[in-house]
Amino acid sequence: MVLHLRIWCFTTLWLSAFAQGADYFISPGGSDSNSGLSPATAWQSVAPVNALALQPGDRVFFEGGKRFVGTLVLDSADAGEAAAPVIISSYGTGRATIDAGTGDGIFIRDAAGIEVRELNVVGDGPQFNTGRGIWFYTEDPDGTKFAHIRIDRVDVSGFRKGGLVVASDHESLPGYRDVRITHSRFFGNGETGIHFSGFYRTNRAALSHQNVYIAHCELFENAGDPTDLNSHTGSGIILNSTDGAVIEFNRAHHNGGINSKNSGGPIGIWAWHSNAVVMQYNISDHNRSGGGADGGGFDLDGGMTNSVMQYNYSYENEGAGYLLAQFLFAAPFENNVIRYNVSYSDGDEKGYGGIVLFTDYFESIDDVEIYGNTIVTDSPSAEAVDVFFGFYSNVNFRNNIFLTGEGTPLLRSAGDALPPGLRFQNNLYWTVGGGFEMNSNGTTYGSLTEWRQAGQEMLADAPLGVHADPGMVSPFHGEALTDPTRLVELRAFRLRPGSAAIDAGIDLQDVFGVDPGPADFYQTPLPQGSGYDLGAAEFAPPSDATGIQSNVLYMSDRPPSDDPARSDQTLYLAADEAVELANSSAPGETGARLDVAYDAFRTTFIVPPGARGEGGGWAVGDPGSVRYQNPAAPGGSSTVRHAAIVHGGGLGLDGRSLGDVGAAKTLAGPPVGSVFTAYTVDNGSRRSRYCSRFAPQDCQWMTSPGGGVQSLLCQHGLPDAACSALVP
């Protein structure tokens, strides 16, 4: 009873935030002949709600955990206001489900001031359903922008024409403004997960919607319309006809795949004919196309203006990581920025690259700044940059890192990828094995010198550009990150100490008048050293990088000669080779903690003295020893990205001591500024500790409770709660 009262109190407080109207309740145990004004007198179906003229402040609640068949319909007679919205939600335990069958789930026409929260909306699946999950639509001839829509914590699945669709279709350009879509999932639909559309005009933008915010949503397995295979359906998010939008902290994955159109396909997250759109802090991965085109991560498409694509992670999509495209009769494409993004292993299936430019016939892409990105491809068919034949004006690639696998060209261009239309200035280029190949309009440039002779990588008479290994932590083993709020934990593309990219960037503001932005991909303020770095990661050493007391073992799958981060604490493990780590803590003392990352997995072991067991590639022996054996057979590959040892007692590596309790040893070898975990004991007390999930400079020296020697604990990429396991 106490718990019930607390929940009801919370609900009451939430409701009191809005101007009060009437409350209506729907329950399978109710009756449509009831008043519907309380749970005890609830209606049974959506029919009485559809017959109402909802007023500002009215709320409609479906019983949680129950299913309601039919379509909920609201129109201009049901509008709320921002201060007194009409709310559709659940009551009781769990979410209610609106089961639309073959039709629409919630259809709202010419109305706003509406919030839909804490609901599941389901259809019969794209093969049988012909509708949309939640559909806002207007053809208002007066050009009204209907204000205030909130979609929060809903799941929408099984609709052929899209999960959430916000659409308008009139030359007066009516639409919706102040729209927020948050903490929701859109999956198993046909055409799209989320789709904003509006009236279309050739050669000029028609902006129907304003002020759109889409955040913390997941869009997946929206495969396409099975009844219209010759199309480009199957995207996660499509934003069209919108003036002002932010799309952030979303993940779009495993969308598309069943379409067969060769001239266009689905994309994880994309926008077209829109203005002032910001796409940031998103992940787009494993999207695909059944046709010959697209299936990529992100896209600014025809008619995009004044928009920014930044701080995104695209990986293992069939198509381009980041596409810029201008189709026939589109509005002008101009003044866009692509910066501080990462693309890993994109374009393998379609032969695209990490960044792709395309223009249709006599269309043009103008005034685009592409800088501070890290592009890594490891397929022979996927270049770092792919430029289709077309017209380009003032499109600039600067301060980027382009890294390809052995034998893969860095650039492929069907036309002349040359100034003044396309400029490459001060980028870092590297192909495994040291090769350099840029293919432009049938001409191959086999060195940075030749590329400069063609007019690229020059500033007046000064040569620019770097041909060197960028020295990243593990660029060909990008993590399969799934949580957009944890992008700062993406280790693979950080720079190692001594990287050729550090302080090698050009000052864009000073030289070109281009604002470089406040921070890099990892939200490190810019710049950190004596200059800007190349690529998406700004190297940021700790303020006191010398004398760090730590016990760190860094493991690598690369031979010492190929591993620039190798030090006295780096151990090379060949295939099927093993290393044993022994925890010498006395009984009752804190055991060893091992933070291990290998292949795409990260495992943490808390090993008390005398513990036995197994996990991953590790076998825990007696007394508290831990053995890791590289599971790859000779000739195979298994990457141990890093293994950091934190211990309460002394820890031995093949008999070599790394320090004892109360005598923390200073080691020179941890790869400062990249991937490491460090801990020092404080005279054996092990009570002073600090946990950080961010960059090394976030580690702090702390004075022990007894006022003795200072100690340091940095714990990167692990939950803060893991710190508690270190101290009894």
SS in 3 state form for 75-103? CHHHCCCCCCCEEEEEECCCCEEEECCCC
pLDDT digits 0-9 by tens, 338-360: 999 999 999 877 678 899 999 98
The DSSP result for 160-173, as a single string, is TT-SEEEEE--TT-
Q: Which helix (H) or strand (E) holds 219?
A: strand 218-220
Give the model's pLDDT for residue 19.
Answer: 57
Lowest mean pLDDT among 122-126, 299-303, 406-410, 658-662: 658-662
How large is the average pLDDT for residues 162-167? 98
Q: Among 42-56, 221-235, 509-523, which is the least confidently predicted range?
A: 221-235
Minimum mean pLDDT range among 33-42, 56-65, 179-188, 488-497: 488-497
Angle (nearest 5°) at CA 431 between 427 and 436:
75
Position 606: which residue type? I
Mean pLDDT, rounded, for 170-178:
95
CA distance 262 to 293: 5
Strand pairing of 72-74 and 106-109?
parallel
- Three-state DSSP at 49 gives helix
For the chain, give the mean pLDDT. 77
> How many residues appear in the chain?
728
Average pLDDT value for residue range 315-339: 94
Q: Is residue 610 over pLDDT 50? A: no
Following DSSP, what letter does each residue of 439-499 receive, concatenated?
Answer: EETTEEE-SHHHHHHTT-SEETTEE--EES---BSSTTS------GGGGGG--TTSBPTT-
Residue 288 vs residues 223, 227, 285, 358, 428: alpha-carbon distances, Å? 9, 18, 9, 18, 29
Is residue 363 within 8 Å of 390, Cβ to Cβ? yes
More confident residue, 11 or 132: 132
Strand, helix or coil for residue 376: strand
CA atoms of 517 and 717, how far apart (whole Å): 25
Residue type, 291: G
Which has more pLDDT, 11 or 366?
A: 366
pLDDT value at residue 596: 36
The full DSSP string for 275-330 is EEEEEES-EEES---SSSS--EEEEE-TT-BS-EEES-EEES-SS-SEEEEE-TTP
Find out whether the peptide bond into 332 is cis, omega within 30 degrees of 0. no
Distance of CA 193 to the CA centre of its chain: 16
- What integer is the mean pLDDT of 403-415? 91
Q: b vs e for 247-262, b when ≥16 Cβ sit within 10 Å of the residue's Cβ?
A: bbbbbbbbbbbbbebe
Cβ contact 402:375 at 8 Å: yes
What is the pLDDT at residue 147?
96
pLDDT tens for residues 535-547?
999 998 643 322 2
Which tokens go with 164? 């959430």
Burial class (CB within 10 angstroms; exposed 0-12, middle 13-18, buried 19+) of 171: exposed
Q: Checking phi first, is residue 706 left (phi over 0); if not, alpha (psi -120 to 50) or beta? A: alpha
What would the two tokens of residue 156 be? Answer: 């929408």
Find the farthest-apart pair of alpha carbons in the chain and give their distance in angstroms, rounded. 85
Between the CA of residue 175 and those of 81, 491, 650, 714, what are the distances in Å?
16, 42, 67, 50
The percentage of the chain sitting over the pLDDT mark of 70, rounded to a whole number, equals: 71
First and final CA of the chain: distance in angstroms?
37
DSSP letter, residue 508: H
Please tell me the predicted confidence (pLDDT) of residue 473.
86
Mean pLDDT for the stretch of residues 289-297: 83
Give buried/exposed letters for 122-140 (b at 16+ CB in 10 A, else e): bbbbbeebbbbbbbbbbeb
What pLDDT digit, counting tens, does each position of 437-447 carry? 999 988 999 99
Q: What does each C-alpha distance from 239 to 62, 364, 519 come to in angstroms?
A: 30, 21, 26
> Strands, DSSP E only, in 518-675?
554-556, 570-572, 578-583, 592-598, 601-607, 613-615, 618-620, 625-629, 640-646, 651-653, 656-657
Under 8 Å CB-to-CB from 9, ≥6 apart: which residues?
A: none
pLDDT attached to residue 668: 27
Q: Which two tokens stand for residue 24?
A: 């209506």
The 10 Å Cβ neighbour count of residue 616 is 14
For residue 396, the SS3 value is strand
**CA distances (Å), origin 77, targets 50, 73, 114, 409:** 11, 11, 12, 61
CB-based contact 284:251 (threshold 8 Å): yes
- Per-residue pLDDT for 670 more than 60? no
At residue 477 the predicted structure's pLDDT band, cuts being 50, 70 and 90, is: confident
In angstroms, rounded to a whole number, what is the distance separating the alpha carbons of residues 81 and 58? 10
**Closest to 368 (Cα-Cα) out of 356, 381, 383:** 356
pLDDT of 260 reads 72
Band of pLDDT at residue 231, cut at 50, 70 and 90:
confident
How far apart are the C-alpha atoms of 107 and 72, rounded to whole Å?
6
The whole-number average pLDDT for the span 630-650 is: 34
**Range among 307-316, 341-350, 492-501 rated most confident:** 307-316
Residue 31 has pLDDT above 90, yes or no: yes
Query: In whole angstroms, what is the distance from residue 117 CA to residue 136 CA?
Result: 15
C-alpha distances (whole Å) from 147 to each of 85, 111, 208, 399, 569 are 10, 8, 12, 41, 60
